[in-house]
């Protein structure tokens, strides 16, 4: 492919160090100047090996925050079937995907997804649905590949077909219904989720343009939902199906671990499955409101690792290229958080998550045939990019919703639909320019 050269802007560096992101100020007769700020304001933490994604915000007195400490213990605990020796931690299953939150949400990277031997790792689960949003009448909306007793709903394997993973059920009690598809979902990092929850809806709606009224080729749309009788904007999950961490956590506890909560008081069984009613319960609900709140406080206080910048000038040039090829049209660099009622470290922070929290059509190659809510089969929420450099090359390196990309360049080249023009612009960069852009991405 023909290589082109994009002229760099002359960058005037600020005196602050630490590899932190920027606000951009330009005038008609002066080059761009970047005023570097911490990636997550006061919620930025320095790198600590082994804890990249599960560190508390620095400066907190955790001993004075028993709810957050309990939440961390619940997050890392191995839950057991009921009745168990620990009342607080029983009720797992009887149908489930994983027995602990941190089996999928690792502190160091991503849990294994598409293993080289064709098996599926614990970091990948499967939605069941079709193009109009219907779910499987017997299994429901998610496949449970483990069970505390008897047989799970099924297991899945995969094979590489022309570079694209194709997943199939290799064992099931009965076939999934005609027209129902398997939708892989990789476990994301939980970096800075407390900050993302504080992004005001009005900021998300600034770029809401489902009809592409400005004709720029980008038609991002907010996922408008109603949760607990309240209209809200989805921001969590691959399809932005949850507006709050409380909703996201309760959904994961139910669907991934078979644990009931005040928000989801039933097991993940359909009316045709008797296994849930046949097995003893761990309580009603199995995860109390106090425990759910503790988990959410732990997640709220997770920090964001500081940027890793070895050469500030190269990093700045990569940031310029990120903007120039159009990546920032969807991976919006900054938001400003609202006020948190309890933790000032989260309030009024400029954060650089590189997401607009909107749904975008990513093209047929990234469609999995499963619609969720108003999110069509090829529509995905823009993934935050902060911290992705910690994932690449860590042994279970995987990107995109199904983990098909093993490197950041692979992930870029799978982008289609609204991102096709940016992908083409990236392909047309010189090798040196691609290297600079990737260096930037690996450092943010």
Q: Give per-residue pLDDT as tens, 287-321.
A: 999 999 999 999 999 999 999 999 999 999 999 99
Res. 9: pLDDT tops 80: no
Q: Assign residue 59 a region: left if phi > 0, alpha if psi is -120 to 50, beta otherwise?
A: left
Does the pTM surpass 0.95? The reply is: no
On average, the pLDDT of the chain sits at 92
Give which of 196, 287, 203, 200 is closest to 245, Cα–Cα: 196
Q: At what angle do helices 289-300 and 245-257 cross, to 10 degrees?
A: 120
Q: Average of pLDDT values for 280-293?
A: 97
What does the block give as tokens for 390? 């910690």
Question: Which whole number is the average pLDDT over 400-419?
Answer: 97
Lowest mean pLDDT among 79-83, 170-174, 259-263, 272-276: 170-174
Over residues 15-45, the pLDDT tens digits come to 233 333 344 433 233 335 578 899 999 999 9
Bridge-based pairing state of the strands 304-305 and 44-45: parallel
Q: State pLDDT tens for residues 201-254.
A: 999 999 999 999 999 999 999 999 999 999 999 999 999 999 999 999 999 999
SS3 for 75-106 is HHCCCECCCCCCHHHECCCCEECCCCHHHCCC
- Residue that has been written with the tokens 């590949």 in this structure: 145
pLDDT at 27: 29
* Three-state SS at 60: coil
**pLDDT reported for residue 24:** 41
Taking residues 358-362, report their average pLDDT: 98
pLDDT on residue 2:
36
Between 431-443 and 312-324, two packed helices, what is the crossing angle to 10 degrees?
100
Per-residue pLDDT reduced to its tens digit, 333-357: 999 999 999 999 999 999 999 999 9
Burial class (CB in 10 A: 0-12, 13-18, 19+), 269: buried
Mean pLDDT of 368-391: 97
Kindly state the percentage of the chain with pLDDT values over 70. Answer: 92
Report yes or no: 239 and 372 within 8 Å, Cβ to Cβ: yes
Please give the angle made by the CA atoms of 414, 132 and 367, to the nearest 5 degrees: 5
> Does pLDDT of 145 surpass 70?
yes
Judged by average pLDDT, the poorest of 84-88, 90-94, 172-176, 384-388 is 172-176
Q: Which residue has the tokens 């213990």?
A: 73
How far is 252 from 435, CA to CA, in rounded Å? 37
Over residues 189-208, mean pLDDT: 97
- Whether residue 437 is predicted with pLDDT greater than 90 in this model: the reply is yes
Q: Is the peptide bond before 225 cis (omega within 30 degrees of 0)?
A: no
Q: Which are the contacts of 399, defined by CB distance < 8 A and separation ≥ 6?
A: 388, 391, 392, 405, 406, 407, 408, 410, 411
Report the pLDDT value the prediction gives residue 372, as an integer from 0 to 100. 98
Distance CA 4, CA 249 (A): 46
- Tell me: pLDDT of 1 over 50: no
Q: Which of 7-21, 225-239, 429-443 has the lowest mean pLDDT?
A: 7-21
Distance of alpha carbon 45 from alpha carbon 309, whole angstroms: 15
Handedness of CA 190, 194, 195, 197 (dihedral sign): positive
**Residue 431 pLDDT more than 60?**
yes
Q: How sure is the predictor about 181, in pLDDT bands with cuts at 50, 70 and 90?
A: very high
Q: Of 241, 31, 40, give the one whose Cα is nearest residue 133.
A: 241
Closest CA to 409 of 418, 397, 396: 397
């Amino acid at each position: 492919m023909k290589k082109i050269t994009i002229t760099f802007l002359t960058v005037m560096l600020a005196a602050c160090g630490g590899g932190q992101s920027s606000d951009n100020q330009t005038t008609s007769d002066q080059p761009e100047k970047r005023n570097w700020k911490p990636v997550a304001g006061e919620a930025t933490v320095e790198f600590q090996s082994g804890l990249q994604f599960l560190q508390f915000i620095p400066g907190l007195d955790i001993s004075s925050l028993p709810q957050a400490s309990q939440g961390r213990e619940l997050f890392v605990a191995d839950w057991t079937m009921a009745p168990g020796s620990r009342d607080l931690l029983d009720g797992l299953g009887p149908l489930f995907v994983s027995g602990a939150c941190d089996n999928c949400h690792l502190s160091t990277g991503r849990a294994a997804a598409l293993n080289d031997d064709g098996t599926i790792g614990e970091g990948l689960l499967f939605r069941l649905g079709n193009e109009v949003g219907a779910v499987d009448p017997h299994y429901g909306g998610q496949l449970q590949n483990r069970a505390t007793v008897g047989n799970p709903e099924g297991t899945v394997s995969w094979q590489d077909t022309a570079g694209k993973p194709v997943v199939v059920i290799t064992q099931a009690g009965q076939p999934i219904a005609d027209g129902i598809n398997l939708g892989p979902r990789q476990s994301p990092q939980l970096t800075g989720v407390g900050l993302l929850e504080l992004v005001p809806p009005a900021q998300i709606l600034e770029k809401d343009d489902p009809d592409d009224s400005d004709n720029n080729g980008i038609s991002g749309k907010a996922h408008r939902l109603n949760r607990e009788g309240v209209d809200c904007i989805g921001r969590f999950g691959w399809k932005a199906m949850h507006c709050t961490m409380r909703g996201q956590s309760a959904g994961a506890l139910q669907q991934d671990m078979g644990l009931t909560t005040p928000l989801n008081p039933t097991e993940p069984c359909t009316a045709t499955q008797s296994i849930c009613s046949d097995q003893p319960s761990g309580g009603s609900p199995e995860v109390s409101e106090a425990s759910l709140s503790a988990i959410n406080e732990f997640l709220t206080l997770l920090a964001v690792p500081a940027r890793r910048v070895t050469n500030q000038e190269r990093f700045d040039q990569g940031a310029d290229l990120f903007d120039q090829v159009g990546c920032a049209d969807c991976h919006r660099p900054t938001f400003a958080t609202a006020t948190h009622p309890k933790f000032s470290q989260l309030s009024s922070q400029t954060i650089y998550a590189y997401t607009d929290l909107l749904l975008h059509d990513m093209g047929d190659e990234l469609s999995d045939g499963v619609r969720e809510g108003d999110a069509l089969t090829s529509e995905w929420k823009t993934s935050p990019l902060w911290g992705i450099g910690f994932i690449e090359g860590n042994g279970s390196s995987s990107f995109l919703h199904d983990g098909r990309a093993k490197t950041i360049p692979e992930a870029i080249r799978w982008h289609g639909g609204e991102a096709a023009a940016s992908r083409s612009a990236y392909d047309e960069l010189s090798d040196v320019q691609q290297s600079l852009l990737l260096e930037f991405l690996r450092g943010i």
